[in-house]
């Protein structure tokens, strides 16, 4: 877990009941619980921010939540992922993107450690991926 100035400012300004990530389930657990509870091919994910959690979901093993692995669960429940942060292929060829590269090392020295490639390239083929490419990052 990494903490940036945005989260720190929110916690200090608003003093929420949840102060840090240790007080809540991890993102993969939440995704798996939410997906299992939905109708097949009914979920649209708005992927805002770094792609690490989507990549981890896709590579998650079967567990007590579902006998399906992450890729199988996504293929069964998700119909579309809408990515914030521009076109992934265009980013690879021509420019940098804060979200696709996890802040370009701002928060982590290893960027995303390949999470963007996993999240995009290992997405089940029946899931439509929409890339937002309006305006600047």
Domain locations along the chain: 5-131
* Sheet strands side by side (includes 78-83): 43-47, 78-83, 128-131
Q: What is the mean pLDDT, run by run of 10 residues, along the chain of 137 residues?
A: 73 88 94 99 93 95 99 99 71 57 59 79 94 61
User: Would the pTM of this model clear 0.85, i.e. be above it?
Assistant: no
């Amino acid at each position: 877990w990494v903490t940036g100035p945005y989260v720190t400012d929110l916690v200090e300004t608003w003093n929420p009941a949840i102060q840090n990530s240790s007080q809540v389930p991890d993102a993969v657990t939440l995704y798996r619980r939410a997906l299992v509870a939905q109708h097949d091919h009914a979920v649209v994910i708005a992927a805002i921010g770094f792609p690490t959690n989507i990549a981890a979901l896709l590579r998650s093993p079967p567990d007590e939540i579902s006998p399906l692995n992450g890729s199988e669960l996504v293929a069964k429940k998700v119909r579309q992922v809408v990515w914030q942060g521009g076109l992934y292929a265009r980013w690879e060829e021509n420019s940098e993107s804060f979200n696709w590269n996890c802040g370009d090392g701002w928060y982590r020295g290893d960027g995303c450690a390949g999470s963007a490639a996993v999240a995009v390239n290992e997405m089940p083929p029946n899931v439509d991926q929409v890339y937002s490419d309006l305006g600047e990052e």
